[in-house]
Amino acid sequence: MTTVREATLDVLRGCGMHRIFANPGSTEVAFLADLPDDLEFVLALHEGSVVGMATGHAIATGRPAFVNLHTTAGLGNAVGALATARVNRAPLVVVVGQQDRRHLALEPFLAGRLEGLAGPYPVWVNQPVLPQDVPAAIRRAWHEAVQHQGPAIVVVPMDDWSAPVDPALGLAAPAAVLRAGSAPGPAADELARLLDRAANPVVVVGAGADDRRTWDALVSLVDRIGAPVWQEAFGARAGFPQDHPRFAGHLPAGRSRLRAVLDGHDLAVVVGTGAFRQYPYEPGPLVPDGLTVAVVSADPDELHHSRADLAVLADPAAFCAALTEQVSPRAVAPPDRRVEPVEPPAPGEPIRAVHVFTALAERLPRDVVVVEETPSTRPDLHRLLPAREPRGFVSAAMGGLGFGLPAAAGLRMGDPSRPVVAVLGDGSSLYGIQGLWSAARYGCGVLFVILSNGRYAIMDRLADKVGGKAPWPAFEDVDVHGLATALGCPARRITSHSELLAALDEVVPTLADRTEPLLLDVAVRTEQHFEP
């Protein structure tokens, strides 16, 4: 098994940092002792000189120089020189030693409060959460130093260096970052070469691709290369028309199922998000063997935490349009992806969430904005209610509840030309229920569809999954309909499928011109399955 130190030394080699500028201390000995012959140790007698030499080296070579500093005293002595490096636009990768993390909570001798010690002068500061994250953090520091032209700091506890790391898992940082700027140029050339060599490419899209220019560019690209398109898991917005024949669905959030979906592909082009967004942790590799990953995003942070072979900092629309012109066309017919119809409930049977989604899908106009906050039934909503226009789907990027209800009012207020429908669980709605008062007060004509089962269904299922008994009670006595009315928002209680269809047939045709919100409190049966 490789150690963190060995993996880090490989990162230094890969980034071309073959000199280590340092004034050593005890918290750095485990890293510095027995350096391989291909790495040169350069000693200076004070930390100001250490950083000064590295700054000159970086200016001369045009590449980041590597600096190793002793914990509080070393970093403190170097602050003035680090400030000079920042103003001189000298890229530095600075690793600062820290006491053994196994007893840091006791604040032992030489433990340092290091984050913030150098003030605003570093372009990036990080102490990895786990020892195994250290090599990726140092590679990211290299990219941050290049991008922002200054010192990037990584704090490493002294015991981290001997920790084991599995190289097969890869690093949560891209191997290479290209900056396309206004002219895609060499970055588009490189990705076009990868696409032309790929036998079975796949495209993954995210919220950063949710605009008309990027949708149009992606449609042209995937039609030219014949690739399927997947939406990122837990995406806050749709990055591709989900009624397009090449749209394959939403990626699963667990590693084993993600590998199964991507198995057989040899290149994944990820646009407008990182690689890859997940929720439950699972051991094992992130992607299948043999898959090259390239990420294109205008957000450098998305690039830097991606496990990718190539990352491109670029406007996704302009870059994908240029890429389409350069890549060779392939004659690949789109598959037939029919959605299985949902049978209505039999007389006397309760409504399920899928019945609500199906009824909405059959009635809502193409330009509707659907705001989602229904964690336990999100996969069914994605499957049955596709986004057909940019900004046609909006959800909470962070996953915290309470966003959907007020956000829907704001969306309608910001663009009254588009109808807005918010589909919320009753538990979710209660985190933002007071937003109904504002929606009514300011004439936001949103249709709020509340799926009411009187419980936190998603939490109940997660408790079942870990084999434990949920300590929280149901809240079936909470009257969402009554709360809405008390807050000045018109509301109706829906208890049967026929009532649902009648209400939607009446309300949906009015959505474009409504200036009054309406809440439908729909009693639904709790779903019995969920896979994030």
pLDDT single digits (tens) 349-365: 999 999 999 999 999 99
pLDDT value of residue 279: 83
Q: Rounded to the nearest 10 degrees, what angle do helices 316-326 and 185-197 cross at?
A: 50
| Topology (CATH) of 177-326 | Rossmann fold (3.40.50)
pLDDT value of residue 64: 97
Tokens linked to 287:
């992607």
| Local structure of residue 351 (DSSP, 8 states) | B
Going from N- to C-terminal start, the domains of the chain cover: 2-165, 177-326, 353-523
C-alpha distances in Å from residue 507, one per residue of 149, 402, 407, 414, 496: 56, 25, 20, 21, 17
pLDDT value of residue 528: 55
pLDDT value of residue 531: 58
pLDDT value of residue 506: 97
pLDDT value of residue 53: 97
pLDDT value of residue 382: 94
pLDDT value of residue 183: 66
Q: Is it true that 2-165 and 177-326 share their CATH fold? A: yes
Q: Which residue, chain included where needed, has tokens 């090599």? A: 135
pLDDT value of residue 41: 96
pLDDT value of residue 218: 98
CATH number for the domain formed by residue range(s) 2-165: 3.40.50.970
Q: Which CATH class is domain 353-523?
A: alpha beta
Tokens linked to 148:
């922002």
Please report the DSSP string for 470-503 in residue order: --SPP-TT--HHHHHHHTT--EEEE-SHHHHHHH
* Low-confidence stretches of the chain (pLDDT beneath 70): 181-183, 461, 527-532
pLDDT value of residue 261: 96
pLDDT value of residue 527: 64
For 293, phi and psi rounded to 5 degrees?
Answer: -120, 125
